[in-house]
Amino acid sequence: MFRQLERRKRADNNKYAALPVFATLPRELMPHWPSPFRPPKMHYGWELKAELLLEFAEQHNLLFRFTVPDSDEEGLAEDEHPEPRRRLSPSELRSAQTLLFQERVYTMHRSLPKLALSLTPKPPKTSRITSAINADPYSIVSLYSNYDLPNVPADEFINKLARAMGYTEKPRWFLDGANVTWMRWECAW
């Protein structure tokens, strides 16, 4: 399934997206130093439930908002009316949509550590939101990766986080969104 020395091409993304999600990490994907190549990065976690993290952020005042310059409407007299708002051009609309998307992403990245901290006084540093090429949507809550095996969070923390986020299924192994091929050890990601 994972061939060493395989070069990633854009056309390969569909092939990687079709890879299965593993219940247990295959042995050949565990990093092993004497081997000349590093296996692809795998994340142990769940597919992201964005709405739950955004709700947590709203309840705990963690929403991220880009600052918007004040409008000129504040300086108008009562009898004056602001100019009618014009329609946004397609590029302006894309920019606005991108900003809204980035606000959601930043809010979720800010919320997960706070949620973990509310569950335990010393949460693991390995938990994060990241991309996975074989997840739907492409974002997951990663508890740790195959390169974090010496620092695996306690089962108690994993169970608490699962309950807090509404997950009933066990975490699974997802392929990282960027590091999907075998690399020589001297290459760092």
Average of per-residue pLDDT values in the chain: 81
- Quick: pLDDT tens for 57-96: 999 999 888 765 445 455 555 555 555 555 657 777 777 7
Strand 37-38, strand 139-145: pairing: unpaired
Tell if the pTM clears 0.95, that is, is over it.
no
Residue 51 parent element (H or E): helix 50-59
**What digits encode the pLDDT tens for the residues 17-60?**
677 899 999 988 899 877 788 888 999 999 998 898 899 999 99
User: Which amino acid makes up residue 174?
Assistant: F
